[in-house]
């Protein structure tokens, strides 16, 4: 098992690295070149840079993952592709994407996009809180421990 992080905007990279290192699980951070940093990563962490195109990181992650790898993302499209490939997919707000909830999430995203396109205002995501961070860490530890 490897853990792949859609890392451009992920607020939980450090948690993933910390918990994965404790469990001896390799982590792959996938970022666009616009987020390049020369900072060294800890052992067991690889950073892969991709073009800055809209779905470049998503496509690279799907290309690299294997069944039962883990993907950390807030992108519902990537989550859907990961589920279809047999991956475990977690959202940084502390929930697991499943075949039971992904259709509803994609439908909600679509309806919001259509509303914005017609000139309506929609609410953005709520701010990421310490409670979200704690919930994600607990979920990640539980999922890693169940492997």
The CATH number of the domain holding residue 13 is: 3.40.50
Average confidence (pLDDT) over 3-18 = 95
Q: How many domains does the chain have?
A: 1
Tell me if residue 97 falls in helix, strand or coil.
strand
Give the domain range for residue 42. Answer: 3-145
Q: Is the pLDDT of residue 14 over 80?
A: yes
Chain segment 116-143, per-residue pLDDT in tens: 788 887 776 788 999 999 999 999 999 9
Q: How far apart are CA 33 and CA 119, in angstroms?
A: 33
Average confidence (pLDDT) over 98-108 = 82
> Beta partners for 71?
4, 89
pLDDT at site 147: 60
What are the contacts of 110-117 at 24+ separation with CB within 8 A?
Answer: none
Q: What is the pTM of this model?
A: 0.87
User: How many other C-beta atoms are found inside a 10 Å radius of the C-beta of residue 72?
Assistant: 27
């Amino acid at each position: 098992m490897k853990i792949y992080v859609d890392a451009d905007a992920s607020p939980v990279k450090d948690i993933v690295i910390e918990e994965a290192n404790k469990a001896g699980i390799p982590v792959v951070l996938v970022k666009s070149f616009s987020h390049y940093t020369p900072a060294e990563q800890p052992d067991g962490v690889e950073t892969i840079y991709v073009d800055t195109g809209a779905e470049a990181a998503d496509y690279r992650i799907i290309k690299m993952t294997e069944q039962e790898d883990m993907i950390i993302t807030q992108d519902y499209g990537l989550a859907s592709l990961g589920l279809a490939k047999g991956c475990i997919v977690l959202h940084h707000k502390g929930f697991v994407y499943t075949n039971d909830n992904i259709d509803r999430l994609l439908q909600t995203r679509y309806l919001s996009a259509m509303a914005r396109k017609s000139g309506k205002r929609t609410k953005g995501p709520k701010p990421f809180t310490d409670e979200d961070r704690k919930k994600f860490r607990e979920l990640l530890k539980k999922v890693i421990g169940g492997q």
